[in-house]
Amino acid sequence: MWRLRTVRLLVPAAVLGLLLSTVLLAQPAPAPNTTGQASPAIPLRPIAELREQALKATPPVESGTFRKPLLLELGVGPDNPIHLDIHYATANNFLGTPVYTAPRAFLQVPAAVALLRVALRLEEQGYGLLIFDGYRPWYVTKIFWDATPPALHEYVANPAEGSRHNRGCAVDLTLYDLKSGQPVSMPSSYDEMTERAHSNYSGGTKQERKHREILREAMMREGFEPIPEEWWHYDYKDWREYPVLNLGFDVLPVIDGFAEGTTLPKILKRLEPEFTQEAREHKYQGEVRLEVVIREDGTPMVVAVLKGAKYGLTKAAIASVQQWRFNPATRDGKPVAIRTMMEVSFHLY
């Protein structure tokens, strides 16, 4: 007896409506209350003075070949489990003053898609994601470094090297309860510069450590790595492939829209018949993961098989994907190529 229980495809043209709704709305809905904030550190010098100097400074010169940056704005749309609470757009941060002009968050497209996969998995467990920060202009990293006492420099990135936030591949976040809308308890507050913030801190309550582990497991499954000093900070696996950026939010290279048409139900309906026969014949159960570039004209190109499959199902998946057509993403009204992931899951019983 067999049954194809789930066929799950995670692609921009299908599921990025959740994320892209924030591009179209360009503003966050009211976010849940956040965890308590640590007392602000006393800046070594006035923030206005540090900002002026940072804006005049030059980011580090990098060598090598990098991917062309293309970011996606995160935020809240209808039924979206990703909410925003951008502390750096308020005085509720370790400096005690705003450093962003607007409460917005961005990630490189592959990282943003991976984050949506995290959110979809956590939704099944009753949690949503609350975003504190994403892409961060380099000059803000310099402000943080120059304002922070040297004894606490382990908690801020060195501008001489650039931050993974500057590359659009790091995100600060926590969980919130979908029923109550309230953030869950964690061993420390966000941006707290103490041992309690460490990702392996053994103190706190059992429930706080459990929440931290739920977040870590979900993030690592989709290619995000934690850092020792901060339980809320995660780096996307491809961060080395992107350059340090020093652009304001209003001039970032951001996807600004998808054409209407391709929806997840339509793709699933199209996909299911192509795999059920092979799955039935080989009693296959597992996942096929493909990294795909969707070209400017909407045609897909499979560039890597990130998780293999037996019995030729990977080959079938590639052949099927290459026949699909997607509505292209746009930047400034012009079509752009995007690199993303497709995941097909089979569960037979």
Distance, CA of 348 to CA of 281 (rounded, Å):
11
Between CA 31 and CA 176 the distance in angstroms is 10
Token reading at 22: 């924030």
Q: Give all strands (DSSP E) within the chain, no chain letters.
A: 71-74, 82-84, 105-108, 127-133, 170-177, 224-227, 230-236, 257-258, 286-294, 300-307, 329-331, 334-336, 338-346
Measured CA to CA, the distance from residue 271 to residue 281 in angstroms comes to: 17
Contact status, residue 173 vs residue 129, Cβ threshold 8 Å: yes
The helix (run of H) or strand (run of E) holding residue 319 is: helix 313-321
- Does residue 257 contact residue 307 with C-beta atoms inside 8 Å? no
Annotated catalytic, 230?
yes
Q: Which of 230, 241, 281, 291 is catalytic?
A: 230
Is the distance from CB of 25 to CB of 80 less than 8 angstroms?
Answer: no
Q: Are 35 and 189 in contact (CB under 8 A)?
A: yes
Coil, helix or strand for 288?
strand
- CB of 156 closer than 8 Å to CB of 143: no
Catalytic residues: 230
